[in-house]
Structures are given as structure tokens and as C-alpha cells.
Chains A and B, each alone.
Chain A
Amino acid sequence: MRAVSPSADAPLLEAAGLGRSFGARRAVSNVSFSLRAGECLALFGPNGAGKTTLLRVLAGLLKPSTGSARLAGISLPGGAPARSRIGLISHHTMLYDALSARENVSFAARLYGIRDPASVDNALARMSMLDRADTMVRALSRGMQQRVSIARAMVHSPRLVLADEPYSGLDESGARALTSLLREVSLAGTTVIIVTHNLHEGLSLATHAAVMKAGSFVRFDEKSLVDETSYAATYRAAVASNG
């Protein structure tokens, strides 16, 4: 696996003054940052801070109301070329419960033009789900469904992974598998944005960290400059002032 020196490359993802409103409500406001290949941003913030909306804008599911974002030079939402580079993990599994784990991942692979069954098995194996590959999703536990959902999002080897509370429902072993997978893809040059409420988990993966409140970044730091204790205090203050 090729280790990537993040500082050597131009930004893979750039957001400039990004904003998104729903009617009069501004869910995301004036968010600017850039990440290079292989960098990982851990995004923290209270419920309703706009983290999920920001990820949905970056995934091309929502159009920005203000500002712009570029992925590998493509303006978002950039149609098929941009979407083929993104892997989206959510606390919703995005799976079909009447299909097996393998059928779900295989369906996703085909949407991305991948026909090789080995890619599907490989994605399932990375989340330790190969032995349950032929089990119907409805018969899997919530945690196992989340593992399949992660395999589904990673099957096409995306260049940008957007992970919205990916640890939800995972047991300790699943969380370890996910952390190891995200670290591995990050080392291979994939940029990762992870939204989590677990500060320690997020910071252990991150090269950058941000706290979001009321739609804006109240902090955005390089991980090397972050003291976990002071960061925890900022995060707790943001959650407390959220009500």
C-alpha cells in the first residue's frame, strides 16, 4: 500500500464560504476548509449543528445555497465524475433488507461500474462480514448491518469518504474494524471526513479536527496543534450552549 504524503499534494477537497439554507433557516453557514489526499477531518458538534447537512452537500445530495466546494477540481455537486469518487457512510444503512449482504454490496458495486465479484468479497472481508455474506440483511443485527453498509460505501475505493456517525450500532470489534479500515484507506491516499460524538475515537484518526455549532466552524485545527483536553472543553461548551 502506498503511503501518501499529504502536504505534497494539492487539496483534494476545498470548501469556500459553503452555506446551505432550508427556507429561512441556515443549516450550514460560511464553512471554508481544505483537505489534501490522505488527510482526515474529525468533525464534532452538538445535534443540529449542521454536520449532516454539510456532509450531504459534499456528497452532492444537496446543492449549496452559498459558496462552493470542489473535489479533485470538480465543482460540487459535480454529477457522475464527482459522485464516483465519493463513499458515503451514514447512520442510516442505505441497505435493502430483502437482499443478502453480498447482494447489497454487489448492487452498489454495479452502480459504480464494478463487476468483479472479488471486489465485493474483499469489501465484505474488510468488515469481517464474509462469513455472513449470504444472510439476508433483515436477519442481521444492527451492528452487522452497519458493517455491510460500510462495505457498501467502500466497495468502489472512493477518494473521499464521508462518514456520518459511522460508529453508531457497532460493537467493539466492529468499531476496531472500521477504525483500522479508515486508517488504512487514509494511508493509501483517501481523504476522510468523519462526524462523530466520540472525541477520542475521532481524534485518534484525524489529521484535522473541527467543532461545528449553529452551522459554522467554531474551531478548525490541525491535529498536531490540538490538545485533547482543551478540545473536549470546547466541544462540551458547544453542546451545553446548544441547550
Chain B
Amino acid sequence: MAETLRAAWVIARKDLSIEFRTRSAFFSAVVFALLGLVIFYYAWDPTAVAAIDLAPGVLWVIFTFSGILGLNRSFAVESADHAMDGLLASPVSREAIFIGKAIANLIFVAAVQLIAVPALAVFYNLPLGNIALPLLAIGFLAAVGLVFVGTLFSAMAVNTRLAELLLPMLALPFFVPIVMAAAQATSRLLSGRPISEADAWIKLLLAYDLVFVVACTLAYPFTVED
């Protein structure tokens, strides 16, 4: 296990170094998230819907779609000059490759959210001060589920002609429980309700993560073995 995690970290560091150099997916995701916020803001009628009711939905929709931009690139960097062959021919386990990719995607999604969440708070004048920590925890749980499922589908879609279309088509139905649970839990927090009211949704996120982290890690080798 320690060897798998060590190899996974080597792969994650490599992916993050490439993203840090090119910043192409990161800038695309941040710009997409901010543009999404602006569009939702101007489409919003504050006399009809309160900011606290709208903001959770906006946050998690933006979180999902900006995350997909990063996930699309995750395995595309490996196909440029058949670098995937180099990974598969090396002695690292297939699970380590998958976990490495997922760790890099998790950091990517978290970095985008570090910009998008404060921007959301500014646009909708949300009091995040008291709920920052629980919101961070919900964001982390949602991100784990999203990146493990998304990374698996990214691996499956990368060798197809319509990879950028196929990934959201495959992954979005699986993201529904994450978005629903995260939005409901966030809504409770923003309304000033006690965190115990969000317990059921947080447990759903936890259960989703437990199931899909294990299932996706075990399923990944089948996407690369012939």
C-alpha cells in the first residue's frame, strides 16, 4: 500500500508540474467558474429568490462543470506522444496510476474552488465567516467523490473521438447524488441552521465517497488492460 501511494504521489506531482507550467486547464476552469457566477448573478432576480436559496445551487453547478474541464485534461496529457505506454510499461501498479491522477485532479478542483467560493460570497453577499470550516469539509467530501468518478470516466473516454463530449455524458448522472447532497448541506449551513440538520446529506457524501473511491480504483485497471 505504501508503495502504491508513493508511486501515486510521483504521478500526481508530475501532473501538477505540467499543469503549473501550462496552466491551460486551470485558467479555463477559473474563467469558466467566474463567468458562470457572473451569468447567474445577472440572471438572478433578488426580489423573487433569496441569495441564500440560490447560492448553493450556483456553487455546486459551477463546481461540477469547472471540475469536468480539469478531468478532461487528466488523461489527455498521457496520450500526446503515447506517454501512457511509458506509465503502463513501468512497474507501478495500475491502481497507483489511477490514485495519482485522482490526487492531482483533487488538488486542481480544490484550487479552482479556492477562487470560486470567495467570489460567490462576494457576488451574493454571503456570510461565510462562521461556516467556512463545515463548508470546507463538505467541499472536500464532494470533491473526492467527483474526482474519483470523473477520473475513471476520463480514462475511459480519452481514447474515443468524442472524449470531451463523452466525459460529461458519462459522468454527470453519477455526479447527481454529490451535487444534490452538497447543495442541500450548504443550504442548511447558509440558512444558519445547526450542522446536525445537514447530517443526513453529509453521511450521503461520505457513503458515496467510500463506495466510489474503492469501486473506481478497482475498476480502473480494466480500462487499460486489453
CB-CB under 8 A from B7, the residues of chain A are 111
A60-B88, A90-B82, A98-B22 are known contacts; what are 18 more A-B pairs with Cβ within 8 Å?
A61-B85, A62-B226, A83-B89, A84-B90, A84-B91, A90-B85, A93-B81, A94-B81, A95-B81, A96-B18, A96-B83, A97-B81, A98-B77, A99-B21, A103-B17, A107-B14, A110-B10, A112-B91
15 contacts between A and B (CB under 8 A): A59-B89, A61-B88, A61-B226, A63-B225, A63-B226, A79-B91, A84-B90, A86-B89, A88-B86, A94-B81, A95-B83, A107-B10, A111-B10, A111-B91, A112-B91
Chain A min CB distance to B56 (Å) = 36
| Contact size range, B | 20 to 34
Residue ID in chain A nearest B90 by CB atoms: A111
| A80 is an interface residue with CB less than 8 A from chain B | yes
**Nearest Cβ distance between residue A137 and chain B, in whole angstroms?**
9
Interface residues of B, dominant DSSP: helix
CB of A13 within 8 Å of the partner chain: no
Q: Is B2 an interface residue (CB 8 A)?
A: no
Distance, CA A240 to CA B85, complexed state (A):
31
CA distance A63 to B225 in the complex (A): 8
Contact A96–B77 (Cβ < 8 Å): yes
Partner of B90 from the list A63, A96, A112 (CB cut-off 8 Å) is A112
Which of A62, A98, A108: most chain B CB closer than 10 A? A98
CB-nearest residue of chain B to A88: B89
Q: Is A219 an interface residue (CB 8 A)?
A: no
A52-69 CB contact bits vs B (8 Å, 1 = yes)? 000000011111000000
List residues 64-107 of chain B with CB under 8 A from any CB of chain A: 77, 80-83, 85-93
Interface size on A, as a range, is 20 to 34
Judge whether A92 is part of the interface by a CB distance below 8 angstroms: yes
A79 to B86, CA, bound (A): 14
Q: Which of A69-88 contact B (CB under 8 A)?
A: 79-81, 83-84, 86, 88
- Per a CB cutoff under 8 Å, which of B18, B81, B85 touches A88? B85
Bound: A210/B21 CA distance, A: 45
Which B residue sits closest to A82, measured CB to CB? B91
- The interface residues of chain A, by DSSP majority, are classed as loop
A152 CB within 8 Å of chain B: yes
Taken together as a complex, chains A and B put the C-alpha atoms of A105 and B87 apart, in Å, by 12
Q: How far is the CB of A95 from chain B (nearest CB, A)?
A: 6
Please name the 4 residue pairs, one residue from A and one from B, whose CB atoms are nearest each other, closest first.
Answer: A94-B86, A92-B82, A80-B91, A84-B91
How many whole Å from B27's CB to the nearest CB in chain A? 14
* Chain A: CB-nearest residue to B19: A98
A83 and B81 form a contact (CB under 8 A): no
With the chains together, A94 CA to B79 CA distance in Å?
Answer: 9
* Structural contact, B90 and A83, CB atoms closer than 8 A: yes
Contacts of A98 in B (CB 8 A): 17-18, 21-22, 77
What residues of B have a CB within 8 angstroms of the CB of A88 in the complex? 85-86, 89
> A80, A99, A103: which contacts B92 (Cβ < 8 A)?
A80
Which chain A residues border B85 with CB–CB below 8 Å?
A: 61, 88, 90, 92, 94
A-side contacts of B88, CB under 8 Å: 60-61
